[in-house]
Amino acid sequence: MTEEQIRLHEIDLNQVEKIRKLAFRLAADLQNFDKITHLIAMQEAEQDYDRLKLNSRREDQTPPEQVAERLSSEQEKVLLALKSAVWNASSNLKQDHDRRGVLKAQMKEQSEMRKQAVGKEE
């Protein structure tokens, strides 16, 4: 393997690592998003029980509407973090792709220059 091929391979490995990290992060954030969705659903059920007077909620307990609002805000933050992770990974991968393209063009140019130099010697 030439030095240039090694550099191309390193860029490829770097991209694979970035994609794997993104996949792990997305899985964790989506799991968190689902947990919050579940908690919001539970608070909405609590609200329904309150409306039907089926619940015996203590006076010092936070109303389910407020808890659901707080959870929705938390869920929005998780969603923004997800979007940010995808956007940043996409940007980084694009930069790596561009860098790889430049390196390949340089390799091609060097190869052509070597061919021309060999042709002049003959």
Give the pLDDT confidence of 54-96 residue by residue, as tens digits: 777 677 788 888 999 999 999 999 999 999 999 999 999 999 9
pTM for the full predicted model = 0.73
Rounded-to-integer distance, Cα 105 and Cα 111, Å: 10
pLDDT in tens, 13-32: 999 999 999 999 999 999 99
* pLDDT for position 122: 62
- Read out DSSP for the chain? --HHHHHHHHHHHHHHHHHHHHHHHHHHHHHHHHHHHHHHHHHHHHHHHHHTT-----TTSPPHHHHHHHHHHHHHHHHHHHHHHHHHHHHHHHHHHHHHHHHHHHHHHHHHHHHHHHHHH-
The pLDDT confidence band at residue 116, using thresholds 50, 70 and 90, is confident
Of 72, 79, 83, the closest CA to residue 44 belongs to 72
